[in-house]
C-alpha cells in the first residue's frame, strides 16, 4: 500500500516575485552601478529574479546616507520614538509573513514549513524584542549612559537571509545606530521585501540602507572608513580576514563564524527524543546552520542500537520541493555549496569512515543531497574537524563523560553543543564543561532574541540577542581616559561635517 502524502505545495504566486530588484539606499530603491545578478531558485535550479548590484561607489553613497541620517535624525530622536519604528517594522513583517515565507523559500531553498514557522516569526520577534530596549538602554548593566556608536556596517550570510537581517538591524537601530547592510549574493530578495516594509513604516531615509552584491561589496563595506562598527556573520576564513583588515582602526567588531557542534548522547538519554533533536540539529535548513549539531557523540554501550534507530528515522525524512508543506529537507542553497558538501563527503569516504545515505528519492531538478550519516569516524578526519554546512552527520563514540567533554571540546570552533541525558546533574556538569556559546540540554536549535547567541574560540566573538547583544552596538562605561576624550575617529570626523 502506498502511504505517501499527497503533494501540498504552497503557491509561489503569493511571493509576487518581480523580474528585477534594486538596492535600497537613503530610503529609495535605486539602480546600483554593479552588474546585474540573477538569483537562482535552488529548488528548481532556475532563474528566479534579477538583482541590480552595487559597487564601492554605491557603498560610499550608502554610508554617507547612513551618516546623515544618524546625525540629523536618528541620534536626535528619543529612544521611545525609535522603539515605535521598530514596533511598526515588527508588525509589518507579521502582516506580510506569508509572502515573506514564500519569497524566502523560493530564494533560499529551505522548506516552507521552516520559513513559515521559524524564520519569519522569529524575524518579527527580533524587532519586537529590541523595540522595547530603545528607551531602556540605561538599564542594560553597561553603565549609566550607553551611547550609540554611529554607522554600523553589517554583512550577513545566505542560510537565514531574513532572520539574519532582522537579527542584525533590530539591535543596531534600538541602540541608536544607523545601518548599511549587505545580504549574500545568492539570497538578496527577502531583505529587499523587508526594505519595502521599512519604507512603509516611514523609517527616516538613510537609517537602513541595503547594498547588494558579492564579497567585493562586503569588503568595501566592512573596510569603509566611515563605518563605526562592523558585524559579520559567515565563514571563519572571511571573519579572520575582516579582523585582520580592521586591525589598528579601533572599530568595534563582532564576528559570528563557523561551528562544528557536538551532540552528546548518554546511555540514559530518552532515545526517541534524542533522535528527534539530532535530526533537527543536523537536517534543519539542510544542515546549513553555523550551530548545527554536525558531530554526534554517542556513548559506546548504546552506539550501535542508537545509530540504527537514527538511520530508521532519517529514512523517513522527506526531501523535495521546498514549497511543499510536507517537505522536511529542502534544497541546498547553491550549486557551489552542493559541490563543497559533496567534496567533503567524498573526503570522509576516502578517509575510511562508513558512509550511509537515506534512500529517499530526490527531485530531478535543483540542488539536493540525501541526508547522510558517517559512522566509525575518527576525530582527525576532515569530516570531524571541518564545517560541512550541509545535511551530513559525523558519528563518534565515547565511554566516559570526561572523554565526551574532551572530544566535544577538541575543535577550533566553539559555537554550540547538545547534551542528552536524563540525569540533571550530569547535564548541568556537561553544560559547564563544554567550551561553546550555546548549550542545549535535551533539546537543540532553540533561538530567542532574549537569549544571547555567539561563539567561543574561532566561532567568533561578541554576542547577538539579549543585553550582551546590545552591548556590541553601544559605547559603554569604558575606563577613564587621560585628556578626557576618546579616539572615535569616524564619529569625530562625522561630527565636524
Give the footprint of another protein on this chain (CB under 8 A). 125, 141-143, 236, 239-241, 243-244, 247-248, 250, 255, 257, 412, 427, 431, 436-443, 446, 448, 450-454, 456-461, 463, 466-468, 471, 476-483, 485-488
- Read off φ and ψ for residue 179, nearest 5 degrees: -135, 140
Query: Nearest CA to 194 among 213, 174, 175, 179?
Result: 179
The conformational region for residue 232 under phi > 0 = left, psi -120 to 50 = alpha, else beta, is beta
Q: Which is nearer to another protein, 9 or 250 (CB)?
A: 250
Q: Which is nearer to another protein, 37 or 175 (CB)?
A: 175
Query: Nearest CA to 241 among 182, 319, 155, 177?
Result: 155
Give the H or E element holding residue 171.
Answer: helix 161-174
Q: Check residue 74 and report its DSSP letter.
A: G
Shortest CB 323 distance to another protein, Å: 27
- Read off φ and ψ for residue 9, nearest 5 degrees: -75, 140
Shortest CB 463 distance to another protein, Å: 5
CA distance 27 to 379: 51
Shortest CB 460 distance to another protein, Å: 6
Q: Which is nearer to another protein, 389 or 456 (CB)?
A: 456
Residues 53/35, Cβ–Cβ less than 8 Å: yes
Shortest CB 315 distance to another protein, Å: 26
| 82-99 per-residue burial string, b: 16 or more CB within 10 A, e: under 16 | bbbbbbbbbbbbbebbbb
Shortest CB 438 distance to another protein, Å: 5
Residues 147/175, Cβ–Cβ less than 8 Å: no
Residues 88/197, Cβ–Cβ less than 8 Å: no
Shortest CB 248 distance to another protein, Å: 4
Q: Which is nearer to another protein, 34 or 454 (CB)?
A: 454
CA dihedral 22, 25, 31, 32 (to 10 degrees): -100
Among candidate residues 104, 290, 387, 464, the one labeled active-site is: 290
Shortest CB 366 distance to another protein, Å: 32
CA angle 397, 401, 407 (to 5 degrees): 50
| 232-264 per-residue burial string, b: 16 or more CB within 10 A, e: under 16 | bbbebebbeebbeebeeeebbbbbbbbbbbbbb
Q: Which is nearer to another protein, 328 or 458 (CB)?
A: 458
* Strand 372-375 to 392-398 pairing: parallel
CA distance 323 to 430: 39
Q: Which is nearer to another protein, 157 or 363 (CB)?
A: 157
CA distance 414 to 417: 8
Q: Which is nearer to another protein, 141 or 339 (CB)?
A: 141
Q: Is residue 290 annotated as a catalytic residue, yes or no?
A: yes
Shortest CB 209 distance to another protein, Å: 26
Q: Which is nearer to another protein, 223 or 357 (CB)?
A: 223
Among candidate residues 219, 256, 386, 458, the one labeled active-site is: 256
Q: Is residue 291 annotated as a catalytic residue, yes or no?
A: no
Positions marked active-site: 256, 290
Amino acid at each position: 500500500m502506498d502511504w505517501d502524502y499527497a503533494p501540498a505545495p504552497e503557491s509561489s504566486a503569493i511571493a509576487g516575485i518581480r523580474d528585477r530588484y534594486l538596492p535600497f539606499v537613503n530610503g529609495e530603491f535605486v539602480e546600483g552601478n554593479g552588474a546585474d545578478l540573477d538569483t537562482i531558485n535552488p529548488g528548481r535550479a532556475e532563474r528566479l529574479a534579477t538583482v541590480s548590484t552595487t559597487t564601492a561607489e554605491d557603498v560610499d553613497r550608502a554610508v554617507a546616507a547612513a551618516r546623515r541620517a544618524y546625525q540629523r535624525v536618528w541620534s536626535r530622536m528619543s529612544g521611545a520614538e525609535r522603539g515605535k519604528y521598530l514596533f511598526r517594522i515588527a508588525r509589518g513583517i507579521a502582516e506580510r509573513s506569508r509572502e515573506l515565507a514564500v519569497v524566502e523559500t523560493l530564494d533560499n531553498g529551505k522548506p516552507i514549513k521552516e520559513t513559515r514557522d521559524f524564520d519569519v516569526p522569529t524575524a518579527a520577534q527580533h524587532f519586537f524584542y529590541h523595540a522595547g530596549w530603545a528607551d531602556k538602554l540605561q538599564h542594560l548593566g553597561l553603565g549609566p549612559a550607553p551611547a550609540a556608536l554611529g554607522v554600523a556596517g553589517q554583512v550577513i550570510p545566505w542560510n537565514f537571509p531574513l532572520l539574519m537581517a532582522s537579527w542584525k538591524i533590530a539591535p543596531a537601530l534600538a541602540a541608536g545606530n544607523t545601518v548599511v547592510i549587505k545580504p549574500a549574493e545568492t539570497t538578496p530578495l527577502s531583505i529587499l521585501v523587508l526594505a519595502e516594509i521599512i519604507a512603509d513604516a516611514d523609517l527616516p531615509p538613510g537609517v537602513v540602507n541595503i547594498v547588494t552584491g558579492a564579497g567585493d561589496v562586503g569588503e568595501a563595506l566592512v573596510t569603509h572608513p566611515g563605518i563605526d562598527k562592523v558585524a559579520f556573520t559567515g565563514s571563519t576564513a572571511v571573519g579572520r580576514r575582516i579582523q585582520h583588515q580592521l586591525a589598528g582602526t579601533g572599530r568595534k567588531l563582532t564576528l559570528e563564524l563557523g561551528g562544528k557542534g557536538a551532540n552528546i548522547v548518554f546511555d540514559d538519554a530518552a532515545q526517541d527524543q534524542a533522535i528527534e533533536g539530532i535530526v533537527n540539529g543536523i537536517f534543519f535548513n539542510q544542515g546549513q546552520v553555523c550551530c548545527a549539531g554536525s558531530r554526534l557523540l554517542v556513548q559506546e554501550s548504546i552506539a550501535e542500537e542508537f545509530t540504527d534507530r537514527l538511520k530508521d528515522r532519517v529514512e523517513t525524512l522527506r526531501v523535495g520541493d521546498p514549497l511543499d508543506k510536507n517537505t522536511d529537507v529542502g534544497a541546498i542553497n547553491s550549486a557551489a555549496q552542493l559541490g563543497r558538501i559533496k567534496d567533503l563527503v567524498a573526503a570522509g569516504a576516502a578517509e575510511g569512515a562508513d558512509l550511509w545515505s537515506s534512500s529517499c528519492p530526490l527531485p530531478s531538478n535543483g540542488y539536493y543531497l540525501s541526508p547522510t550519516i558517517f559512522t566509525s569516524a575518527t576525530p582527525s578526519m576532515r569530516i570531524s574537524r571541518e564545517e560541512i554546512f550541509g545535511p551530513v552527520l559525523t558519528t563518534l563514540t565515547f565511554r566516559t563523560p570526561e572523554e565526551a567533554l574532551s572530544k566535544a571540546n577538541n575543535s577550533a570552533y566553539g559555537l554550540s553543543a547538545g547534551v542528552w541525558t536524563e540525569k540533571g546533574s550530569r547535564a548541568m556538569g556537561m553544560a559547564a564543561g563544554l567550551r561553546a556559546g550555546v548549550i542545549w540540554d535535551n533539546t537543540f536549535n532553540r533561538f530567542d532574541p532574549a537569549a544571547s547567541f555567539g561563539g567561543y574560540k574561532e566561532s567568533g566573538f561578541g554576542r547577538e540577542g539579549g543585553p550582551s547583544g546590545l552591548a556590541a552596538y553601544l559605547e559603554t562605561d569604558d575606563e577613564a581616559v587621560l585628556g578626557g576624550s576618546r579616539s572615535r575617529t569616524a564619529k569625530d570626523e562625522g561630527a565636524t561635517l
